[in-house]
Homo-oligomer: A and B are copies of this chain.
Protein backbone atom coordinates (compact mmCIF):
# COMPACT_ATOMS: atom_id res chain seq x y z
CA UNK A 1 0.00 0.00 0.00
CA UNK A 2 1.25 3.44 -0.82
CA UNK A 3 0.89 6.33 1.49
CA UNK A 4 1.71 9.98 0.96
CA UNK A 5 5.17 10.92 -0.23
CA UNK A 6 7.87 9.32 1.88
CA UNK A 7 11.58 10.08 2.08
CA UNK A 8 12.53 7.52 -0.61
CA UNK A 9 10.16 9.06 -3.13
CA UNK A 10 11.30 12.53 -2.20
CA UNK A 11 14.85 11.40 -2.89
CA UNK A 12 13.92 10.21 -6.38
CA UNK A 13 12.15 13.47 -7.14
CA UNK A 14 15.16 15.42 -5.91
CA UNK A 15 17.42 13.49 -8.28
CA UNK A 16 15.04 13.91 -11.20
CA UNK A 17 14.98 17.65 -10.65
CA UNK A 18 18.76 17.84 -10.33
CA UNK A 19 19.03 15.91 -13.61
CA UNK A 20 16.67 18.35 -15.30
CA UNK A 21 14.08 15.61 -15.88
CA UNK A 22 11.10 17.89 -15.45
CA UNK A 23 8.71 15.73 -17.48
CA UNK A 24 9.37 12.66 -15.36
CA UNK A 25 9.01 14.80 -12.25
CA UNK A 26 5.63 16.02 -13.40
CA UNK A 27 4.53 12.45 -14.18
CA UNK A 28 5.53 11.35 -10.69
CA UNK A 29 3.97 14.30 -8.91
CA UNK A 30 0.64 14.23 -10.76
CA UNK A 31 -0.72 11.30 -8.75
CA UNK A 32 0.04 12.78 -5.33
CA UNK A 33 -2.35 14.78 -3.15
CA UNK A 34 -1.95 18.43 -4.14
CA UNK A 35 -0.93 19.59 -0.67
CA UNK A 36 2.04 17.20 -0.84
CA UNK A 37 2.93 18.29 -4.35
CA UNK A 38 2.97 21.93 -3.26
CA UNK A 39 5.22 21.15 -0.30
CA UNK A 40 7.66 19.08 -2.33
CA UNK A 41 7.88 21.75 -5.01
CA UNK A 42 8.49 24.50 -2.48
CA UNK A 43 11.17 22.49 -0.77
CA UNK A 44 13.08 21.09 -3.73
CA UNK A 45 12.73 23.54 -6.61
CA UNK A 46 13.82 27.03 -7.49
CA UNK A 47 11.04 29.47 -8.26
CA UNK A 48 11.77 29.17 -11.99
CA UNK A 49 11.52 25.39 -11.81
CA UNK A 50 8.23 25.66 -9.93
CA UNK A 51 6.89 27.83 -12.72
CA UNK A 52 7.98 25.40 -15.39
CA UNK A 53 6.69 22.26 -13.63
CA UNK A 54 3.42 24.00 -12.81
CA UNK A 55 2.75 24.78 -16.45
CA UNK A 56 2.97 21.06 -17.21
CA UNK A 57 0.01 20.21 -14.99
CA UNK A 58 -3.51 20.46 -16.36
CA UNK A 59 -5.29 23.66 -15.32
CA UNK A 60 -7.35 22.04 -12.59
CA UNK A 61 -4.26 20.70 -10.84
CA UNK A 62 -2.46 23.98 -11.43
CA UNK A 63 -5.20 25.77 -9.52
CA UNK A 64 -5.18 23.24 -6.67
CA UNK A 65 -1.40 23.13 -6.24
CA UNK A 66 -1.09 26.91 -6.49
CA UNK A 67 -3.70 27.21 -3.72
CA UNK A 68 -1.45 25.22 -1.39
CA UNK A 69 1.69 27.31 -1.99
CA UNK A 70 2.99 29.84 0.51
CA UNK A 71 1.82 33.41 0.10
CA UNK A 72 5.29 34.58 -1.00
CA UNK A 73 5.60 31.96 -3.73
CA UNK A 74 2.06 32.68 -4.90
CA UNK A 75 2.93 36.35 -5.34
CA UNK A 76 6.16 35.51 -7.16
CA UNK A 77 4.25 33.29 -9.58
CA UNK A 78 1.57 35.90 -10.08
CA UNK A 79 4.25 38.39 -11.05
CA UNK A 80 6.28 36.09 -13.31
CA UNK A 81 3.59 34.10 -15.09
CA UNK A 82 2.00 35.21 -18.32
CA UNK A 83 -1.22 36.95 -17.19
CA UNK A 84 -3.34 35.01 -19.68
CA UNK A 85 -2.03 31.70 -18.33
CA UNK A 86 -2.43 32.92 -14.79
CA UNK A 87 -6.05 33.82 -15.37
CA UNK A 88 -6.69 30.22 -16.52
CA UNK A 89 -5.05 28.83 -13.40
CA UNK A 90 -6.95 31.38 -11.30
CA UNK A 91 -10.29 30.33 -12.78
CA UNK A 92 -9.60 26.76 -11.69
CA UNK A 93 -8.97 27.59 -8.04
CA UNK A 94 -11.69 27.07 -5.42
CA UNK A 95 -13.79 30.19 -5.34
CA UNK A 96 -13.12 30.92 -1.65
CA UNK A 97 -9.34 30.45 -1.86
CA UNK A 98 -9.29 32.51 -5.05
CA UNK A 99 -11.13 35.38 -3.39
CA UNK A 100 -8.73 35.28 -0.42
CA UNK A 101 -5.73 35.44 -2.76
CA UNK A 102 -7.30 38.31 -4.68
CA UNK A 103 -7.78 40.26 -1.46
CA UNK A 104 -4.10 39.86 -0.61
CA UNK A 105 -3.04 41.53 -3.86
CA UNK A 106 -2.22 45.23 -3.96
CA UNK A 107 -4.82 47.46 -5.56
CA UNK A 108 -2.81 47.86 -8.79
CA UNK A 109 -2.14 44.11 -9.01
CA UNK A 110 -5.88 43.50 -8.74
CA UNK A 111 -6.53 45.93 -11.57
CA UNK A 112 -3.84 44.21 -13.63
CA UNK A 113 -5.53 40.82 -13.22
CA UNK A 114 -9.20 41.73 -13.64
CA UNK A 115 -9.27 42.37 -17.43
CA UNK A 116 -7.94 38.86 -18.10
CA UNK A 117 -10.73 37.15 -16.17
CA UNK A 118 -13.88 35.87 -17.81
CA UNK A 119 -16.96 37.76 -16.71
CA UNK A 120 -18.44 35.09 -14.36
CA UNK A 121 -15.09 34.59 -12.60
CA UNK A 122 -14.55 38.33 -12.30
CA UNK A 123 -17.99 38.86 -10.82
CA UNK A 124 -17.56 35.92 -8.47
CA UNK A 125 -14.24 37.20 -7.14
CA UNK A 126 -15.51 40.72 -6.62
CA UNK A 127 -18.69 39.43 -4.97
CA UNK A 128 -16.88 37.09 -2.55
CA UNK A 129 -14.31 39.76 -1.70
CA UNK A 130 -17.05 42.11 -0.58
CA UNK A 131 -17.84 40.27 2.68
CA UNK A 132 -15.95 40.81 5.96
CA UNK A 133 -13.61 37.84 6.67
CA UNK A 134 -15.28 36.91 9.97
CA UNK A 135 -18.72 36.35 8.38
CA UNK A 136 -20.29 33.41 6.53
CA UNK A 137 -19.90 35.45 3.33
CA UNK A 138 -16.21 35.92 4.02
CA UNK A 139 -15.47 32.19 4.18
CA UNK A 140 -18.04 30.75 1.77
CA UNK A 141 -17.34 29.32 -1.66
CA UNK A 142 -19.59 29.41 -4.68
CA UNK A 143 -18.66 25.92 -5.88
CA UNK A 144 -22.02 24.33 -5.19
CA UNK A 145 -24.40 22.36 -7.39
CA UNK A 146 -28.10 23.15 -7.80
CA UNK A 147 -31.12 21.47 -9.35
CA UNK A 148 -34.78 22.34 -9.77
CA UNK A 149 -37.31 20.29 -7.81
CA UNK A 150 -39.46 19.24 -10.78
CA UNK A 151 -36.69 17.11 -12.29
CA UNK A 152 -36.61 13.34 -12.19
CA UNK A 153 -33.78 11.62 -10.35
CA UNK A 154 -32.16 10.60 -13.66
CA UNK A 155 -32.33 14.20 -14.94
CA UNK A 156 -30.85 15.48 -11.71
CA UNK A 157 -27.92 13.06 -11.90
CA UNK A 158 -27.38 14.10 -15.51
CA UNK A 159 -27.38 17.77 -14.53
CA UNK A 160 -24.84 17.17 -11.76
CA UNK A 161 -22.62 15.19 -14.16
CA UNK A 162 -22.76 17.95 -16.71
CA UNK A 163 -21.95 20.99 -14.68
CA UNK A 164 -19.76 19.70 -11.89
CA UNK A 165 -16.06 20.32 -12.51
CA UNK A 166 -13.85 18.62 -9.97
CA UNK A 167 -13.69 21.50 -7.53
CA UNK A 168 -17.42 21.50 -6.99
CA UNK A 169 -18.95 20.03 -3.83
CA UNK A 170 -21.70 17.66 -5.01
CA UNK A 171 -22.36 15.57 -1.91
CA UNK A 172 -25.22 17.90 -1.13
CA UNK A 173 -27.13 19.20 -4.12
CA UNK A 174 -29.24 22.26 -3.42
CA UNK A 175 -32.78 22.53 -4.70
CA UNK A 176 -33.72 26.05 -5.79
CA UNK A 177 -36.57 27.70 -7.63
CA UNK A 178 -36.11 29.79 -10.75
CA UNK A 179 -35.19 32.85 -8.70
CA UNK A 180 -32.41 30.88 -6.91
CA UNK A 181 -34.46 30.81 -3.71
CA UNK A 182 -33.32 27.87 -1.62
CA UNK A 183 -36.03 25.20 -1.21
CA UNK A 184 -34.07 22.40 0.37
CA UNK A 185 -31.35 19.94 -0.44
CA UNK A 186 -30.83 16.36 -1.50
CA UNK A 187 -27.71 14.32 -0.90
CA UNK A 188 -25.84 12.60 -3.70
CA UNK A 189 -26.45 9.42 -1.74
CA UNK A 190 -30.21 10.04 -1.83
CA UNK A 191 -29.96 10.39 -5.61
CA UNK A 192 -27.97 7.17 -6.02
CA UNK A 193 -30.34 5.20 -3.79
CA UNK A 194 -33.49 6.53 -5.49
CA UNK A 195 -35.16 5.04 -8.57
CA UNK A 196 -34.12 6.98 -11.71
CA UNK A 197 -37.73 7.66 -12.72
CA UNK A 198 -38.82 9.16 -9.39
CA UNK A 199 -39.30 12.89 -8.99
CA UNK A 200 -36.58 14.66 -7.05
CA UNK A 201 -39.30 16.44 -5.07
CA UNK A 202 -40.17 13.40 -2.99
CA UNK A 203 -36.60 13.09 -1.69
CA UNK A 204 -35.87 16.73 -0.90
CA UNK A 205 -35.08 17.63 2.70
CA UNK A 206 -37.16 20.72 3.29
CA UNK A 207 -36.25 21.05 6.96
CA UNK A 208 -32.63 22.12 7.02
CA UNK A 209 -30.16 24.52 8.52
CA UNK A 210 -28.65 27.45 6.69
CA UNK A 211 -26.40 30.37 7.46
CA UNK A 212 -27.07 33.99 6.64
CA UNK A 213 -24.45 35.79 4.64
CA UNK A 214 -23.61 38.22 7.47
CA UNK A 215 -23.71 35.61 10.21
CA UNK A 216 -20.63 35.31 12.42
CA UNK A 217 -18.34 32.54 11.21
CA UNK A 218 -18.26 30.96 14.67
CA UNK A 219 -22.02 30.54 14.67
CA UNK A 220 -21.77 28.97 11.19
CA UNK A 221 -19.18 26.53 12.50
CA UNK A 222 -21.42 25.60 15.42
CA UNK A 223 -24.29 24.77 13.09
CA UNK A 224 -22.15 22.54 10.87
CA UNK A 225 -20.91 20.81 14.00
CA UNK A 226 -24.33 20.41 15.59
CA UNK A 227 -25.91 18.86 12.51
CA UNK A 228 -22.79 16.92 11.39
CA UNK A 229 -22.95 18.54 7.95
CA UNK A 230 -20.52 18.19 5.07
CA UNK A 231 -21.48 21.75 4.07
CA UNK A 232 -24.02 24.40 5.02
CA UNK A 233 -25.81 26.63 2.48
CA UNK A 234 -25.46 30.41 2.82
CA UNK A 235 -28.37 32.64 1.83
CA UNK A 236 -28.73 36.37 1.27
CA UNK A 237 -31.55 38.55 2.67
CA UNK A 238 -33.70 37.58 -0.35
CA UNK A 239 -33.45 33.88 0.66
CA UNK A 240 -31.35 33.21 -2.43
CA UNK A 241 -28.58 30.64 -2.26
CA UNK A 242 -25.26 32.52 -2.60
CA UNK A 243 -22.67 30.06 -1.30
CA UNK A 244 -21.71 27.15 0.88
CA UNK A 245 -19.32 26.72 3.79
CA UNK A 246 -17.80 23.24 3.86
CA UNK A 247 -16.53 21.07 6.69
CA UNK A 248 -12.87 21.82 6.01
CA UNK A 249 -13.45 25.58 6.22
CA UNK A 250 -15.27 24.95 9.49
CA UNK A 251 -12.21 23.20 10.93
CA UNK A 252 -10.13 26.25 10.03
CA UNK A 253 -12.64 28.49 11.78
CA UNK A 254 -12.60 26.33 14.90
CA UNK A 255 -8.78 26.43 15.02
CA UNK A 256 -8.74 30.19 14.56
CA UNK A 257 -11.39 30.75 17.23
CA UNK A 258 -9.46 28.42 19.52
CA UNK A 259 -6.35 30.59 19.21
CA UNK A 260 -8.46 33.68 19.73
CA UNK A 261 -9.98 32.29 22.95
CA UNK A 262 -6.59 31.23 24.23
CA UNK A 263 -5.08 34.63 23.51
CA UNK A 264 -7.99 36.56 24.97
CA UNK A 265 -7.76 34.48 28.08
CA UNK A 266 -4.13 35.52 28.46
CA UNK A 267 -4.95 39.15 27.89
CA UNK A 268 -3.68 39.24 24.31
CA UNK A 269 -5.73 41.14 21.76
CA UNK A 270 -6.38 38.66 18.90
CA UNK A 271 -5.39 39.39 15.32
CA UNK A 272 -8.14 40.03 12.83
CA UNK A 273 -6.08 38.43 10.11
CA UNK A 274 -4.85 35.16 11.61
CA UNK A 275 -1.26 36.01 10.79
CA UNK A 276 1.59 33.58 11.35
CA UNK A 277 3.71 34.12 14.44
CA UNK A 278 6.83 34.88 12.43
CA UNK A 279 5.01 37.08 9.90
CA UNK A 280 3.78 39.34 12.67
CA UNK A 281 6.13 42.23 13.33
CA UNK A 282 7.60 43.05 16.74
CA UNK A 283 5.46 46.18 16.94
CA UNK A 284 2.29 44.21 16.15
CA UNK A 285 3.16 41.62 18.82
CA UNK A 286 3.83 44.44 21.26
CA UNK A 287 0.50 46.12 20.54
CA UNK A 288 -1.44 42.86 20.91
CA UNK A 289 0.00 42.27 24.36
CA UNK A 290 0.60 45.74 25.78
CA UNK A 291 -3.04 46.84 25.97
CA UNK A 292 -4.04 44.50 28.74
CA UNK A 293 -0.76 44.13 30.52
CA UNK A 294 -0.28 47.86 30.85
CA UNK A 295 -3.91 48.39 31.86
CA UNK A 296 -3.57 45.76 34.54
CA UNK A 297 -0.30 47.25 35.78
CA UNK A 298 -2.16 50.54 36.05
CA UNK A 299 -5.04 48.90 37.93
CA UNK A 300 -2.37 47.36 40.17
CA UNK A 301 -2.13 50.81 41.70
CA UNK A 302 -5.11 49.78 43.83
CA UNK A 303 -3.16 46.86 45.31
CA UNK A 304 -0.33 49.31 45.92
CA UNK A 305 -2.65 51.65 47.80
CA UNK A 306 -3.92 48.81 49.96
CA UNK A 307 -0.39 47.73 50.83
CA UNK A 308 0.46 51.31 51.71
CA UNK A 309 -2.57 51.75 53.91
CA UNK A 310 -1.27 48.85 55.98
CA UNK A 311 2.27 50.21 56.17
CA UNK A 312 2.07 50.56 59.95
CA UNK A 313 0.97 46.96 60.33
CA UNK A 314 3.88 45.82 58.20
CA UNK A 315 6.34 47.96 60.18
CA UNK A 316 5.22 46.45 63.45
CA UNK A 317 5.21 42.90 62.13
CA UNK A 318 7.73 42.63 59.30
CA UNK A 319 7.14 38.92 58.74
CA UNK A 320 3.77 39.78 57.17
CA UNK A 321 5.54 41.43 54.25
CA UNK A 322 7.51 38.28 53.52
CA UNK A 323 4.38 36.23 52.86
CA UNK A 324 2.41 38.72 50.77
CA UNK A 325 3.65 37.24 47.46
CA UNK A 326 2.73 33.70 48.51
CA UNK A 327 -0.85 34.65 49.28
CA UNK A 328 -1.14 36.67 46.06
CA UNK A 329 0.28 33.89 43.84
CA UNK A 330 -1.82 31.11 45.31
CA UNK A 331 -4.95 33.20 44.89
CA UNK A 332 -4.02 34.01 41.29
CA UNK A 333 -3.42 30.37 40.44
CA UNK A 334 -6.63 29.02 41.93
CA UNK A 335 -8.71 31.85 40.48
CA UNK A 336 -7.28 31.31 36.99
CA UNK A 337 -7.89 27.58 37.17
CA UNK A 338 -11.50 28.06 38.13
CA UNK A 339 -11.94 30.59 35.31
CA UNK A 340 -10.37 28.18 32.79
CA UNK A 341 -12.71 25.39 33.74
CA UNK A 342 -15.79 27.60 33.55
CA UNK A 343 -14.78 29.33 30.28
CA UNK A 344 -14.27 25.93 28.62
CA UNK A 345 -17.49 24.49 30.02
CA UNK A 346 -19.35 27.52 28.62
CA UNK A 347 -17.60 27.21 25.25
CA UNK A 348 -18.43 23.51 24.97
CA UNK A 349 -22.03 24.13 25.99
CA UNK A 350 -21.64 21.87 29.04
CA UNK A 351 -23.14 24.63 31.18
CA UNK A 352 -24.93 27.91 30.65
CA UNK A 353 -25.39 31.04 32.73
CA UNK A 354 -28.65 29.63 34.13
CA UNK A 355 -26.58 27.04 36.00
CA UNK A 356 -24.67 29.71 37.90
CA UNK A 357 -25.84 28.59 41.34
CA UNK A 358 -24.80 25.01 40.69
CA UNK A 359 -21.46 26.10 39.28
CA UNK A 360 -20.59 28.45 42.11
CA UNK A 361 -21.66 25.89 44.70
CA UNK A 362 -19.52 23.23 43.05
CA UNK A 363 -16.55 25.60 42.82
CA UNK A 364 -17.07 26.56 46.45
CA UNK A 365 -16.80 22.93 47.51
CA UNK A 366 -13.77 22.30 45.31
CA UNK A 367 -12.12 25.38 46.77
CA UNK A 368 -12.68 24.20 50.35
CA UNK A 369 -10.65 21.08 49.58
CA UNK A 370 -7.93 23.12 47.89
CA UNK A 371 -7.95 25.62 50.76
CA UNK A 372 -7.38 22.89 53.34
CA UNK A 373 -4.43 21.41 51.39
CA UNK A 374 -2.82 24.73 50.59
CA UNK A 375 -3.45 26.10 54.09
CA UNK A 376 -1.70 23.15 55.73
CA UNK A 377 1.17 23.41 53.28
CA UNK A 378 1.51 27.15 53.98
CA UNK A 379 1.49 26.54 57.74
CA UNK A 380 4.33 24.01 57.43
CA UNK A 381 6.21 26.30 55.06
CA UNK A 382 6.08 29.26 57.42
CA UNK A 383 7.32 27.20 60.36
CA UNK A 384 10.14 25.82 58.23
CA UNK A 385 11.20 29.12 56.62
CA UNK A 386 10.75 31.53 59.52
CA UNK A 387 11.99 29.63 62.55
CA UNK A 388 14.98 32.00 62.68
CA UNK A 389 13.09 35.16 61.79
CA UNK A 390 13.00 37.94 64.40
CA UNK A 391 9.52 38.24 65.79
CA UNK A 392 8.43 40.79 68.38
CA UNK A 393 8.21 39.32 71.92
CA UNK A 394 4.45 39.56 72.09
CA UNK A 395 3.85 36.99 69.28
CA UNK A 396 4.60 33.35 68.77
CA UNK A 397 5.55 31.94 65.35
CA UNK A 398 2.79 29.32 65.70
CA UNK A 399 0.16 32.03 66.08
CA UNK A 400 1.49 34.00 63.15
CA UNK A 401 1.75 30.93 60.93
CA UNK A 402 -1.80 29.99 61.84
CA UNK A 403 -3.16 33.43 61.00
CA UNK A 404 -1.26 33.73 57.70
CA UNK A 405 -2.25 30.25 56.52
CA UNK A 406 -5.88 30.88 57.49
CA UNK A 407 -5.84 34.07 55.44
CA UNK A 408 -4.37 32.10 52.54
CA UNK A 409 -7.11 29.48 52.80
CA UNK A 410 -9.84 32.10 52.78
CA UNK A 411 -8.12 33.73 49.82
CA UNK A 412 -8.17 30.40 47.90
CA UNK A 413 -11.94 30.12 48.42
CA UNK A 414 -12.61 33.75 47.48
CA UNK A 415 -10.33 33.62 44.44
CA UNK A 416 -11.89 30.39 43.16
CA UNK A 417 -15.41 31.74 43.47
CA UNK A 418 -14.40 35.04 41.83
CA UNK A 419 -12.55 33.17 39.07
CA UNK A 420 -15.62 31.06 38.35
CA UNK A 421 -18.05 33.92 38.74
CA UNK A 422 -16.40 36.55 36.52
CA UNK A 423 -16.78 34.63 33.21
CA UNK A 424 -20.41 33.90 34.10
CA UNK A 425 -20.99 37.58 34.79
CA UNK A 426 -19.37 38.64 31.52
CA UNK A 427 -21.49 36.10 29.58
CA UNK A 428 -24.62 37.24 31.44
CA UNK A 429 -24.12 40.73 30.04
CA UNK A 430 -23.58 39.41 26.55
CA UNK A 431 -19.77 39.51 26.49
CA UNK A 432 -17.28 36.81 25.59
CA UNK A 433 -16.43 34.95 28.82
CA UNK A 434 -12.82 34.54 27.68
CA UNK A 435 -12.17 38.22 28.36
CA UNK A 436 -12.54 37.43 32.07
CA UNK A 437 -8.96 36.59 31.42
CA UNK A 438 -6.31 35.09 33.60
CA UNK A 439 -4.34 38.38 34.09
CA UNK A 440 -7.59 40.20 34.90
CA UNK A 441 -8.47 37.63 37.52
CA UNK A 442 -4.97 37.75 38.96
CA UNK A 443 -5.31 41.50 39.34
CA UNK A 444 -8.75 41.33 40.93
CA UNK A 445 -7.86 38.59 43.39
CA UNK A 446 -4.67 40.44 44.31
CA UNK A 447 -6.87 43.21 45.62
CA UNK A 448 -9.24 40.93 47.51
CA UNK A 449 -6.30 38.85 48.75
CA UNK A 450 -4.45 41.80 50.25
CA UNK A 451 -7.62 43.02 51.95
CA UNK A 452 -8.29 39.58 53.43
CA UNK A 453 -4.67 39.16 54.46
CA UNK A 454 -4.24 42.43 56.27
CA UNK A 455 -7.74 42.51 57.77
CA UNK A 456 -7.25 39.10 59.33
CA UNK A 457 -3.72 39.92 60.43
CA UNK A 458 -4.66 43.20 62.13
CA UNK A 459 -7.73 41.65 63.74
CA UNK A 460 -6.07 38.61 65.20
CA UNK A 461 -2.48 39.67 65.74
CA UNK A 462 -2.28 43.37 66.55
Q: What is the size category of the interface that chain A forms with chain B? A: 35 or more
A33 at the interface (CB under 8 A from B): yes
Which A residues, 300 to 345, have Cβ-Cβ distances below 8 Å to chain B? 300-301, 303-305, 307-308, 311, 314-315, 318, 321-326, 328-330, 332-334, 336-337, 340-345
A1 at the interface (CB under 8 A from B): yes
Which A residues, 195 to 239, have Cβ-Cβ distances below 8 Å to chain B? 206-210, 224-228, 230, 235, 239
- Contact status A374-B293, CB under 8 Å: yes
Residues of chain B within 8 A of A341, CB atoms compared:
263, 268, 277, 285, 289
Q: Residue A251 contacts which of B209, B225, B358 (CB distance < 8 angstroms)? A: B225
Which one, A15-23, A115-123, A377-385, is touching chain B?
A: A377-385
A359 at the interface (CB under 8 A from B): yes
- Contact status A282-B366, CB under 8 Å: yes
Q: Residue A171 contacts which of B188, B259, B267 (CB distance < 8 angstroms)? A: B188
Give the distance in Å from the alpha carbon of A303 to the alpha carbon of B206 in the complex.
66
A350 at the interface (CB under 8 A from B): yes
Smallest beta-carbon distance A433→chain B, Å: 12
Which A residues, 267 to 298, have Cβ-Cβ distances below 8 Å to chain B? 267-268, 276-278, 282-283, 285-286, 289-290, 293-294, 296-298
Which one, A79-87, A125-133, A393-401, A438-446, is touching chain B?
A: A438-446
A157 at the interface (CB under 8 A from B): yes
Smallest beta-carbon distance A224→chain B, Å: 8
A4 at the interface (CB under 8 A from B): yes
> Given contacts A1-B239, A328-B325, A439-B336, are A33 and B207 in contact (CB under 8 A)?
yes
A75 at the interface (CB under 8 A from B): no
- Contact status A294-B188, CB under 8 Å: no
> Given contacts A183-B1, A192-B160, A350-B276, are A303 and B289 in contact (CB under 8 A)?
no
Q: Residue A325 contacts which of B248, B303, B365, B377 (CB distance < 8 angstroms)? A: B303
> Given contacts A210-B3, A282-B365, are A314 and B303 in contact (CB under 8 A)?
no
Which A residues, 141 to 197, have Cβ-Cβ distances below 8 Å to chain B? 157, 160-161, 164, 166, 170-171, 181-183, 188-189, 192-193
Q: Would you list 26 pairs from A and B whose C-beta atoms are within 8 A, ordered by A residue?
A: A1-B239, A161-B193, A166-B189, A170-B192, A224-B251, A225-B248, A259-B344, A262-B343, A262-B344, A266-B438, A267-B333, A276-B351, A277-B350, A277-B359, A278-B351, A282-B366, A282-B369, A285-B366, A289-B334, A308-B389, A315-B318, A321-B321, A325-B328, A328-B328, A329-B446, A332-B332
Knowing that A171-B188, A321-B321, A324-B324 touch, tell me 9 more A-B residue pairs with CB under 8 angstroms.
A31-B207, A263-B341, A276-B345, A276-B350, A286-B369, A293-B330, A300-B381, A303-B326, A333-B442
Ranked 7 nearest A-B pairs via Cβ? A321-B321, A277-B345, A266-B340, A228-B248, A286-B369, A277-B350, A247-B247
